[in-house]
A = this chain, B = another copy of it.
Amino acid sequence: MSASFKIAIAGLGTVGGGVMKALAARGGELSSRAGRRLEVVGVSARDRAKARGFALAGWTDDPLSLAKGDADVVVELIGGEEGIARQLVETALSNGKHVVTANKALLAKHGLALARLAESKGVTLKFEAAAAGGIPIVKALREGLIAHGVNAVKGILNGTCNYILTEMESSGRGFADVLKEAQAKGYAEADPTLDVGGGDTAHKLALLASLAFGVAPDLNAITTEGIEHITPEDIAFASEFGYRIKLLGIARRVGNQIDQKVQPAMVRVRSALANVSGAANGVLVDAGEAGPFFFSGRGAGDAPTASAVIADIVEAATGAPSFVFGRPAASLRPLDPADGSKAVSPWYLRFEVLDVPGVLASIAGHLAEAGVSIESMIQRVRAPGAPVAIVMITHETAQASVERALKAIGASDKVRARPCMIPMES
């Protein structure tokens, strides 16, 4: 066996700890697969004194020094799109070291520049753990499903959102209530905005879209909507229609343009995505003539994410040269965003209205004016005096038309709260 492959790890939280433990437990086996002995030569984290259950070989207080030492690969598990994480990755690549990272925010924002840097130095920058935790979807898109071109990628990419939606469905409780419980259990961050607002899904989607379509990751071209406004009633109505609500990241080819969006969507109960439950992730890839492929598994947590990081480390050790986004960085096109408001689907609409005469007529009028035709409607009685929920399913309609109608309807003082619109996926 040739010289050992030297690993430096910056960040020893959940994922970093998982990587250290797996390397300790199965180092021999993994070294055999890599064809070289894997050796951790340096580590860095916030708090040296913290009890971690593994030895801290080559500790340093300065993570940047890991990018300057004798490591062959620097594993960046600090996080954040700027600051020390970015400096560390740039320095490591500049110094001719491979980089493995789980940092979706960094790559979604600076992916193209970092890919160029890596290629110019003849090293690799790998990020399997940045997309869907343990699911090897980056590898599948980068190397596996390349022959026929990809038409669309749809994914449940945020375990926190999927956990909350699954809990809301099974318990009938509201968003705020379930979120609070998720925070107490450690399934959601103290500041949950990035997760529940869809931002984390957008970061991941930008990376998958780049791999799928040969474009530079482009976060700005993603329309992002979170799950905060989804009510137990929406979930119950979805179920009545044979659907389930999931937060999806969707990137699809529209001619030569790409439409990217993060939004709650209704998926058929029998579909693969609908059956991704709890904190799991799932990704559906429409690979043209080769057909649809589906991947699911644990999208977060120490072992699944460490699994992805370790696969990348082993691959870097084998010396396999691979383009960061599957193609030479120079050939990644700037993303030409499609007009997402032209997307056509049936829509679920929910209006909260005052129980007074003429409201339904007014809503129906605005919908008709915008050319939105209704397939079915449900109106449920609530407590006397409370606003009434009117739920409608439209025929296939462009998003822009529905938005136009909802804007007019929302302006009425008889309509409480923002009308809710959720696309129904075929």
Contacts and interface: CB of A to CB of B under 8 A. Distances in A.
A284 to B, nearest CB: 10
A185 B88 CA distance: 59
A315 interface: yes
Interface in A324-372: 326-328, 331
Contact of A297 (B32, B35, B128, B294): B294
A210 to B, nearest CB: 13
Interface stretch (A47-55, A299-307, A406-414): A299-307
B148 A22 contact: yes
A289 interface: yes
Q: Is the interface of A mostly helix, strand, loop or mixed?
A: mixed
Q: How large is the interface on A (under 10, 10 to 19, 20 to 34, 35 or more residues)?
A: 35 or more
A35 B294 contact: no
Contact of A320 (B32, B289, B321): B321
B33 A307 contact: no
B147 A136 contact: no
A143 B135 contact: no
Nearest to A320: B320
A236 interface: no
A289 B14 CA distance: 14
A295 interface: yes
A327 B272 contact: no
A120 interface: no
A380 interface: no
A318 interface: yes
Nearest to A331: B32
Most chain-B Cβ atoms within 10 A of its Cβ — which of A144, A145, A303? A144
A311 B32 contact: no
A26 interface: yes
Contact of A293 (B29, B128, B297, B320): B297
A298 B307 contact: no
Given A304-B290, A321-B35, A136 B140 contact: yes
Contacts of A314: 143, 146
Nearest to A141: B136
B140 A307 contact: no
A58 interface: no
Contacts of A301: 291
A135 B147 CA distance: 12
Contacts of A289: 303
A394 interface: no
A145 B149 contact: no
A382 interface: no
5 contacts: A134-B145, A139-B140, A139-B144, A143-B315, A318-B321
Interface of A: 22, 26, 29-30, 32-33, 35, 128, 134-136, 139-140, 143-149, 214, 270, 272, 275, 287-298, 301, 303-304, 306-311, 314-315, 318-323, 326-328, 331
The 8 closest A-B pairs by CB, nearest first: A136-B144, A320-B320, A293-B297, A289-B303, A147-B310, A291-B298, A290-B307, A147-B307
